[in-house]
Structure 1
Amino acid sequence: MTTENSTATTAATAKPTHGRFNLAEAAPAVYKAMIGLEIASRQGMDPALLELVKIRVSQINHCAFCIDMHTKDARKAGESEDRIYLLNAWEEATGYYTEKERAALALAEAITVLTDGFVPDAVYERAARHFEEKELAQLIAAIIAINSWNRISVTTRAIPGSYQPQG
């Protein structure tokens, strides 16, 4: 989930979008705060990079609704099918992603999984070499936002397939 327009689009379709309940209706203040975080986290960031990060985090979190949404948004932004398909194996897909993208994907995975209870220094330092501090802060916020959206969508059983990009 990314914008209020996205929600309006899904609400206008014939397919239901939520299996359990719709957060925007059940907790509008929380939904509004999430939209605020989403908008703030995107400021000054490369939209194509953010879509790759959102797809990868959504894959890890098994969020079908968000995978559907962000692959559609990535295609609309001009992302290639090969790069979208290979995100599951980005580390082995040499030559498909820039070093900056690879650093962002590694950071996204580390923040999402937290298997060791922290983001390893090497992963953070790799990202810090490719992103200025302000941009790194925005990237971290975007990763936190998509993780939150994934958890909302998985918990509420948001139904994939209804989202259509705007414009």
Structure 2
Amino acid sequence: MTAARTRLLDPEVGRSLSALSAAAKKGLGDPVLAELVMIRASQLNHCAFCLDMHLTLARENGVDEDRLGLLAAWEEAEDRYDGRQRAALALTEAMTVLTDGFVPDEVYDRAAKHFDDGELAHLIGLITAINSWNRLMVARRIPPGGYTP
């Protein structure tokens, strides 16, 4: 792997994605929900760096190991996640795995029942941002363990 592959080629890309991530998280207003969404997208995208980073941040925000360990099977462990979290996780999966087409109406409608228009816009922005980060880090093969707050 070349050195160029292990870093961002243009720092402006990183600053722009950081700004989007920060704005989306702030507008969502729930750091636990934000971390669960970012972990789930990172699991689906196989992004080890982002998983490592967001698992650390989730623990810092008080998410217990039981919930983190069961996140990949959140639908079967629904008692660990409230309705709002389950709606956000369903939307995260639908937006992350677009191979089947558009986000299903029932998934979007479910999220819209739990989030007002502004929150929903921020949630969609957050899912978009983490998917961009995942793709950037996976393409560059950035290894886990390099995150520092």
Identity of aligned residues (%): 57
1:156 aligns to 2:137 (yes or no): no
Aligned to 1:82: 66
- Within the candidate set 134, 142, 148, 2:118 is matched to 134
2:24 maps to a residue whose letter is S
Q: 1:10-42: per-residue Cα shift (whole Å, max 9, x none)?
A: xxxxxxxx782311xx20222221112111111
Deviations 1:137-161 (A, max 9, x none): 0000000000000000000011102
1:114 is aligned to 98
2:12 matches 1:38:
no
Cα offsets for 1:110-148 (capped at 9, x unmatched): 000012220000000000000001000000000000000
> Are the aligned partners of 1:19 and 1:157 in contact in 2 as well (CA < 8 Å)?
no
Give, in whole Å, the separation in 1 of the partners of 2:14 and 2:146. 19
Cα displacement (A) at 1:79: 0.4
Once the two structures are TM-superposed, the CA of residue 162 in structure 1 deviates from its matched residue by: 2.5
Is this contact kept in 2: 1:19–1:158, CA < 8 A? no
User: Which runs of 5 or more residues in structure 2 are unaligned?
Assistant: none
Give 1:70's aligned amino acid: H
The aligned counterpart of 2:7 is 22
Tell me the matched-pair count: 146
Partner deviation per Cα, 1:75-99 (whole Å, 9 max, x = no partner): 0110010000001100000210001
1:97 pairs, out of 81, 87, 91, with: 81
Matches of 1:32 and 1:51 in 2, distance apart?
20
Moved over 4 A (4+): none
Compared CA separation, residues 86 and 36, structure 1 to 2 (3 A): same
Cα RMSD (Å)? 1.3
Superposition TM-score, scaled by structure 1 size: 0.84
